[in-house]
Amino acid sequence: MPDRQELEQQLRSALEGAKTALEELVPDLKPAPVAPVDTSVTLAGMVMKNPVVVASGTFGFGREYGEFYDLSELGGICAKGLTLHRREGNPAPRIAETPMGILNSVGLQNPGVDAFIADELPFLRQFDVKVIANISGNTPEEYRIMCEKLAEAGVDMIEVNISCPNVKAGGLAYGTRPELAAEVTRMAKSHAGSVPVMVKLSPNVTDITEIAKAAEGAGADALSLINTIRGMRIDVDTRRPILKMNTGGLSGPAVLPVAVRMVWEVANAVRLPILGMGGVSSGEDAAQLMLAGASAVAVGTACFADPFAPLTVRDGLAAIAAKQGLTSVSQLTGGVRPW
């Protein structure tokens, strides 16, 4: 009586023999060799090894996530939104869950641009990843000073946030009025030296293409969209809003269809490259934004539930491109076939 190990061995070689015989009889059964898909993309002259960036405010300065994996796996890191001076942010509660998303009213808590340059940028520079600094100002003058400092410090790109719904001064006002969006863009561009300037658009407008065109006219190198959508939740028993600021910004899977629609509209209205974001947690989500016209994508809220989400998105995108017979992920950009 052969023992269990011997039986297993016999079974394995019988199966291997059957597989080889079958492949000889039906050559098509052999999996076709998959050509490697080129995942690199270019965003306003900035070359990234893959199209996945982590969205501002959802990844801190990378330190905590860096304990899970090598940050060089990412295409880019968009740092937490910076202001000229340190900010405590808004009072708590400032995060509330919603079906398929979250509402936040964090309000740009950050250590200030100088502390970022001194303490956080050297940490991020240890990795082979593009570093995008995200800035918010109360006045065009504040945007000027931050751009000068960051250009001198040598970030790879500056994302000008004109769309934060959670701060009183500046913030959203710049993102909802074309002439103000143009003024801030012009100021940033003329003080960012050779560092590309990407303007982050708000979805809290009637026609996002008006703001996109204003930013393009003022010299922006790229656009990113969407920031969060203004929302509110109320505790029915206490009749109090859940967030201490009463309202907040909605993000997560619920906003993906809005993001896809807006990226598509903007891509049809301007010639600038787009970093698409809003609700991405899979390769398919990201592919939708790219087909709508984005050159790269950012993953935000999904990182809270799963720190590995950006890598899942990256691999999922490559798998979709391979399945569709593309040689490069960038071939997805703008590929939608509208009715």
Ligand X SMILES: Cc1cc2nc3c(=O)[nH]c(=O)nc-3n(C[C@H](O)[C@H](O)[C@H](O)COP(=O)(O)O)c2cc1C
The binding track of 13-52 with respect to ligand X, each residue x by CB under 6 A or -, is: ----------------------------------------
Residue from 78, 147, 164, 303 carrying the catalytic annotation: 164
The binding track of 110-129 with respect to ligand X, each residue x by CB under 6 A or -, is: --------------------
Which structure tokens are listed for 21?
Answer: 């015989």
Residues with Cβ within 8 Å of 168's Cβ and at least 6 positions away in sequence, in order, are none
Q: Which of residues 43-102 bind ligand X (CB under 6 A)?
A: 55-58, 80-81
Q: Which of residues 202-241 bind ligand X (CB under 6 A)?
A: 227-228
The residues with which 38 forms a beta bridge, in sequence order, are 328
* Residue 108: CB minimum distance to ligand X, A: 5
* Residue 220: CB minimum distance to ligand X, A: 15
Please report whether residue 176 would count as binding ligand X according to CB under 6 A. no
Please identify, using beta-carbon distances, which residue of 38 and 89 lies nearer to ligand X: 89
Distance between CA atoms of residues 166 and 206, nearest Å: 19
Any catalytic annotation for residue 164?
Answer: yes
Task: Work out the angle at residue 91's Cα, subtended by the Cα atoms of residues 88 and 97, and round it to the nearest 5 degrees.
Answer: 115
3-state secondary structure of 229: strand
Please identify, using beta-carbon distances, which residue of 312 and 328 lies nearer to ligand X: 312
Please report whether residue 200 would count as binding ligand X according to CB under 6 A. yes
Which structure tokens are listed for 265?
Answer: 């509209």
Of 144-152, 189-197, 247-255, 328-336, which segment contacts ligand X by CB under 6 A?
Answer: 247-255
* Residue 226: CB minimum distance to ligand X, A: 6
* Residue 301: CB minimum distance to ligand X, A: 3
Which structure tokens are listed for 81?
Answer: 């939104």
Among 134, 185, 330, 333, binds ligand X (CB under 6 A): 134
Please identify, using beta-carbon distances, which residue of 23 and 97 lies nearer to ligand X: 97
CA–centroid distance for 67 within its chain: 20
How many C-beta neighbours within 10 Å does residue 47 have? 11
- Please compute, for residue 267, the number of CA atoms within 13 A of its CA located in the half-sphere on the CB side: 24
Please report whether residue 188 would count as binding ligand X according to CB under 6 A. no
Which structure tokens are listed for 226?
Answer: 């969407």
Among 71, 108, 146, 160, binds ligand X (CB under 6 A): 108
Angle between helices 256-269 and 208-217 (to 10 degrees): 50
Which structure tokens are listed for 1?
Answer: 């009586």
- 214 sits in the region (left: phi over 0; alpha: psi -120 to 50; else beta) called alpha
Quickly tell me which residue has 């009715």 as its tokens. Answer: 339
Instruction: Please list the active-site residues.
Output: 164
- Note the residues at the interface with ligand X (CB under 6 A): 55-58, 80-81, 104, 106, 108, 134, 161, 164, 200, 227-228, 251-252, 255, 277-280, 299-302
